[in-house]
Amino acid sequence: MNSRPDRTACQTCTHDQWMPSRRSFLATTGIALSTVALGDLFPGRVLAQDEASEVTLANYPRQPVGRVSALEPDVPVVIAYPEQVAHNAAMLVRLGVPAGGGVGEGQDIVAFSTRCTHMGGDLANEYHAQYKVAGPCREHLTTFDLTRHGMVVSGHATQSLPQLVLQIEGDEIYATGIIGLLFGHHAAPTSPTTEV
């Protein structure tokens, strides 16, 4: 008899860890999941090579994650979003150059998960200002371009780094959702829309 019928084994790691199924996670958090084009999310600010891309967008309750006035260029701030997800560590950073999904006057404020999409390596201290990248990951050297929606530059990962959807009101920065799947959730990023 299965005592945990609503859970599935994590298939991205070898240790004995159980992850909530996508259906049960969505049911308990009340989020809406959909498949969208990057161009719909960031009209006019999507780099050419991404315009045809479809990504999974999960909308979460809007939460404040930082203040514009408190951000120094190229100094990442560790945040957590959304709170109810176990693997929710992220970095909020002002890149100093326009970025896909960037907010603020310079469209240069972005936020990304700090869990590598390959096997969950910690990228919290791996931001490199010279290249505006996260990585190389210390596990298997994947590097992600933070100016281009976290796309993989090199290394073993095949999925972009999940990017937080940000809004600005006055000096306050809010997160409203996540593009891409956080590490530990193994459903395909382009899976069918709206499973709640």
CA-based nearest residue to 55, from 177, 144, 143:
177
- Provide φ and ψ at 2, rounded to 5°: -85, 115
The amino acid present at 119, given as its one-letter code, is: M
Render the burial of 76-91: b for 16+ CB within 10 Å, e for the rest: bbebebbeebeebbbb
Q: Is 32 in the site for ligand FES (CB under 6 A)?
A: no
3-state secondary structure of 16: coil
Q: Is 180 in the site for ligand FES (CB under 6 A)?
A: no
Of 7, 45, 87, 156, the one binding ligand FES (CB under 6 A) is 156
Q: Is 118 in the site for ligand FES (CB under 6 A)?
A: yes
The answer to whether 55 touches 36, Cβ cutoff 8 Å, is yes
Of 121, 162, 177, 180, the one binding ligand FES (CB under 6 A) is 121
- Provide φ and ψ at 48, rounded to 5°: -55, -40
Of 157, 175, 178, 182, the one binding ligand FES (CB under 6 A) is 157
Q: Is 160 in the site for ligand FES (CB under 6 A)?
A: no
Residue 97 Cβ vs ligand FES, minimum distance, rounded to whole Å: 24
Residue 151 Cβ vs ligand FES, minimum distance, rounded to whole Å: 14
Q: Is 137 in the site for ligand FES (CB under 6 A)?
A: yes
Q: Is 140 in the site for ligand FES (CB under 6 A)?
A: yes
Q: Is 100 in the site for ligand FES (CB under 6 A)?
A: no
Residue 116 Cβ vs ligand FES, minimum distance, rounded to whole Å: 3
For 99-167, the DSSP string reads -TT-BTTTT-EEEEESB-TTT--B-TT-EETTTTEE---TTT--EEETTTTTEEEESS--SPPPEEEEE
Q: Is 155 in the site for ligand FES (CB under 6 A)?
A: yes
Using CB under 6 A as the criterion, which residues of the chain lie in contact with ligand FES when the complex forms?
116, 118-121, 137, 139-142, 155-157
